[in-house]
């Protein structure tokens, strides 16, 4: 039996359980598009390849299974680079399929040809050209294995158009299987046990890796059993469900924030899944706490993070073995509980203030009011990210999606679109600045076309606010970072979405609630007063030295 290369590719993707592919095809992909038409896989076209990559990466982040995106060669493939880096730094499994001119013969000389494999190599785990149809089953299986394996990330497969269109002898697909991972070595468990039993003020830190879908239940179980007080990094938010009287805060800044009062007093930190791509949650030094790294892979050594012990292996089962050894035996300083109350009370400061334009604290507070526990807030990148990371309480894993790895602007809306597709029964909110929203706002059309239920909240300050804040912190004059905006309500309406503008301090929560009740794609724009950035994040915290 003979089979066309593109049919074999699509069969191999079906074999991996792929349900949708996001992207913008070019003429080099037309065989693949035709094979998709005949398959169970849905082709979702986006209005920019970057958004397709952000969506595919978010699929990987939320499910543990790679999301898939497709583009043409050269210009289309290059538009995936930011999404590739987002998945690479964020450890999100993703498969990128790009077209290429024929490799066996080419009648177009070098037209549109860019060495995409070379361009993508530093921002992928693996990048390969498919040179013969008969290698497709093994290459696709290997690509998925590589993308999913710890530490997960993006993989690129480039399919030249002649290989896609060529008939080859049918080759069997490779069936996927689960791979249970080894657990931590007993000697490592013993060492961690001794360190924790000797500690007076131990803390657990949940890092980015703690939010892997396979891990969250086991981690919550560990905290319930050991009663270890915990904090999290920005990307570790929500990883520990329940046990909320043990939550001490989020380390959104590297030092001096309220939560550092607890971190600075800790003698041992059990760091679960910390990935040093994140901005450091605290800075290690000669006098600070001893750190135990718990991870699927060994820790990296950095100037500010160099663990003293490591538990390497499948994190859930390894933590269960650690809990067997320490449950009921820890001696935790009761002063931590008092400190916790002080820290959390501080974060409530000005949360209900009536100032208009709204303060960031008020915005975070009001968003929490309208979001159910399992509602998902998907942030773009801007000043408000720090406020959400510090002040927004999460109770369910992956309910505050933010990017503290590449920290790119433009991912907020696409990541929320993916969340809305995967969890149609939940409330999903994208939060973006007026700068970041406009970097992928064209995807409002995709969201409307897909009939998603999704609310987009835009924080309007007519500026690249975060950079303006840094400019002020560094004592530069206010210069060059302002811009004008479209009328966002009319802009939303022009896409067939709904739009609302918040006109008073008490207007935000009802506007968001009404938007969710209306359903479909809804945009809410709220003016924000960023003077709190300097008052709290610079002046107040700078007094917290020591």
Ligand X SMILES: Cc1ncc(C[n+]2csc(CCOP(=O)(O)OP(=O)(O)O)c2C)c(N)n1
What's the gap between Cα 273 and its chain centre? 14
* Minimum CB–partner distance for residue 113 and ligand X (Å): 26
Question: What is the enclosing helix (H) or strand (E) of 250?
Answer: strand 247-250
Q: Of these, 210, 251, 407, 416, which contacts ligand X (CB under 6 A)?
A: 407
Q: How far is CA 412 from CA 3, 381, 460, 467, 504, in A?
A: 40, 7, 15, 18, 25
Question: Applying CB under 6 A, which of residues 5, 99, 207, 433 lies at the interface with ligand X?
Answer: 433
Please report how close the Cβ of residue 285 comes to ligand X at its closest, in angstroms.
28
User: Read out DSSP for 486-497?
Assistant: --HHHHHHHTT-
Decide: 498 and 522 in contact? Cβ < 8 Å: yes
Smaller CB distance to Mg ion: residue 147 or 386? 386
Task: For helices 49-63 and 81-90, give the axis angle rounded to 10 degrees.
Answer: 20
Given a contact cutoff of 8 angstroms between Cβ atoms, the answer to whether 499 and 490 are in contact is yes
**Closer residue to ligand X in complex, CB, 211/404:** 404
Q: Are 511 and 456 in contact (CB under 8 A)?
A: no
Please, which of residues 274-333 interact with ligand X by CB under 6 A? none
Which CB atom, from 202 or from 465, has the smaller least distance to Mg ion? Answer: 465
Stretch that binds ligand X, among 88-96, 235-243, 316-324, 432-440 (CB under 6 A): 432-440
Q: Is 463 in the site for ligand X (CB under 6 A)?
A: yes
Stretch binding Mg ion (CB under 5 A), from 47-55, 64-72, 191-199, 457-465: 457-465
- Measured from the CB atom, the residue of 407 and 537 that comes closer to ligand X is 407
Q: How many residues bind ligand X (CB under 6 A)?
A: 19
Selected binder of ligand X within 46, 216, 381, 415 (CB under 6 A): 381
Q: How far apart are CA 505 and CA 156, in angstroms?
A: 47
| Minimum gap (Å) between residue 434 Cβ and Mg ion | 4
Query: Nearest approach, Cβ of 516 to ligand X (angstroms)?
Result: 22
466 binds ligand X (CB under 6 A): yes
What 8-state DSSP symbol labels residue 173?
Answer: P
Nearer to ligand X, 143 or 409 (CB): 409
Count the residues of the shown chain that bind Mg ion, applying the rule CB under 5 A: 6
Candidate residues 76, 236, 313, 436; the one interacting with ligand X per rule CB under 6 A:
436
**Pairing mode of beta strands 268-272, 20-24:** unpaired
Question: Is the Cβ of residue 69 or residue 466 nearer to Mg ion in the bound state?
Answer: 466
- The residue among 233 and 533 lying less far from ligand X, judged by its C-beta, is 533
- Rg of the chain, C-alpha, whole Å: 24
Measure the CA–CA gap between 438 and 452, rounded to whole angstroms: 19
408 counts as binding ligand X under rule CB under 6 A: yes
Asked if 415 is part of the footprint of ligand X (rule: CB under 6 A), the reply reads no
Q: Interaction with Mg ion in 429-448: which residues (CB under 5 A)?
A: 433-435
Contact between 464 and ligand X by CB under 6 A: the answer reads yes
Phi, psi values for residue 159, rounded to 5°: -115, 105
CB of 488 to ligand X, least distance (A): 12
Q: Three-class SS of residue 467?
A: helix
Cis amide bond preceding 357, omega within 30: yes
Question: Which CB, 10 or 208, lies closer to ligand X?
Answer: 208
Integer Cα distance of 21 and 181 in angstroms: 29
From 230, 345, 210, 232, select the one nearest 282 (Cα to Cα).
232
From Mg ion, ligand X, none, which one binds at residue 467 (CB under 5 to 8 Å depending on kind)?
A: ligand X
Which residue's beta carbon is nearest to the bound ligand X?
Answer: 433
* 273, 208 contact by CB (below 8 A): yes
137, 202, 465, 499: residue in contact with ligand X (rule CB under 6 A): 465
The DSSP-derived string for 17-55 is T--EEEEE--GGGHHHHHHHHTSSPEEEE-SSHHHHHHH
Is the Cβ of residue 158 or residue 532 nearer to Mg ion in the bound state? 532
Please tell me whether residue 431 adopts helix, strand or coil conformation: strand
State which of residues 77, 136, 459, 521 lies at the interface with ligand X (CB under 6 A).
459
**Residue choice 387, 461, 468, 525 for contact with Mg ion (CB under 5 A):** 461
Q: What Å distances lie between residue 23 and 153, 275, 361, 365, 397, CA to CA? A: 18, 29, 37, 36, 28
Site for Mg ion in 462-491 (CB under 5 A): 463, 465
Distance CA 446, CA 350 (A): 37
Binding site for ligand X (CB under 6 A): 381-384, 407-410, 433-436, 459, 461, 463-467
Binding site for Mg ion (CB under 5 A): 433-435, 461, 463, 465
């Amino acid at each position: 039996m003979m089979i066309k290369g593109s049919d074999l590719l699509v069969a191999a993707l079906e074999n991996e359980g792929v349900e949708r592919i996001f992207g913008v095809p070019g003429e080099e992909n037309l065989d693949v598009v035709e094979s998709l038409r005949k398959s169970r896989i849905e082709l979702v076209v986006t209005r920019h390849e970057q958004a397709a990559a952000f969506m595919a990466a978010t699929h990987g982040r939320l499910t543990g299974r790679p999301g898939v995106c497709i583009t043409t060669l050269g210009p289309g493939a290059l538009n995936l680079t930011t999404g590739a880096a987002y998945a690479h730094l964020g450890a999100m499994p993703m498969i990128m399929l790009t077209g290429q001119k024929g490799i066996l013969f080419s009648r177009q000389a070098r037209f549109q040809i860019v060495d995409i494999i070379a361009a993508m190599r530093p921002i992928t785990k693996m990048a390969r050209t498919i040179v013969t149809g008969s290698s497709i089953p093994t290459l696709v299986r290997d690509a998925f294995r590589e993308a999913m394996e710890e530490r997960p990330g993006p993989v690129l497969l480039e399919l030249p158009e002649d290989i896609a269109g060529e008939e080859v002898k049918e080759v069997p697909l490779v069936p996927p299987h689960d791979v249970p991972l080894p657990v931590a070595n007993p000697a490592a468990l013993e060492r961690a046990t001794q360190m924790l039993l000797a500690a007076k003020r131990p803390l657990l830190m949940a890092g980015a890796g703690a939010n892997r879908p396979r891990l969250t239940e086991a981690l919550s179980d560990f905290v319930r059993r050991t009663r270890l007080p915990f904090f999290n990094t920005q990307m570790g938010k929500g990883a520990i469900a329940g046990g909320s009287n043990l939550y001490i805060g989020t380390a959104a800044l590297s030092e001096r924030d309220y939560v550092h009062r607890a971190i600075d007093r800790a003698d041992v930190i059990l760091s679960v899944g910390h990935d040093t791509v994140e901005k450091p949650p605290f800075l290690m030094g000669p006098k600070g706490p001893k750190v135990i790294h718990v991870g699927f892979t060994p820790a990296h050594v950095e100037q500010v993070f160099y663990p003293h012990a490591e538990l390497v292996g499948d994190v859930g089962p390894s933590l269960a073995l650690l809990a067997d050894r320490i449950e009921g035996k820890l001696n935790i300083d009761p002063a931590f509980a008092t400190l916790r109350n002080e820290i959390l009370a501080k974060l409530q400061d000005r949360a209900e203030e009536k100032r208009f334009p709204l303060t960031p604290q008020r915005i975070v507070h009001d968003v929490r009011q309208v979001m159910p526990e399992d509602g998902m807030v998907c942030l773009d990148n801007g000043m408000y990210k720090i406020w959400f990371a510090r002040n927004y309480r999460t109770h369910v894993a992956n309910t505050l999606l933010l990017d503290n790895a590449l920290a790119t602007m433009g991912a907020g809306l696409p990541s929320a679109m993916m969340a809305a597709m995967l969890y149609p029964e939940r409330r999903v909110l994208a939060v973006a600045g007026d700068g970041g929203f406009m970097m992928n706002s064209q995807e409002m059309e995709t969201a409307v076309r897909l009939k998603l239920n999704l609310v987009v909240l835009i924080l309007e300050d007519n500026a690249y606010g975060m950079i303006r804040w840094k400019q002020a912190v560094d004592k530069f004059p206010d210069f060059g970072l302002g811009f004008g905006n479209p009328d966002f309500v009319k802009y939303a309406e022009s896409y067939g979405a709904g739009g609302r503008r918040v006109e008073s301090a008490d207007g935000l929560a009802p506007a968001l609630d009404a938007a969710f009740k209306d359903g479909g794609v809804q945009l809410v724009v709220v003016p924000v007063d960023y003077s709190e950035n300097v008052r709290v994040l610079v002046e107040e915290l700078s007094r917290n030295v020591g």
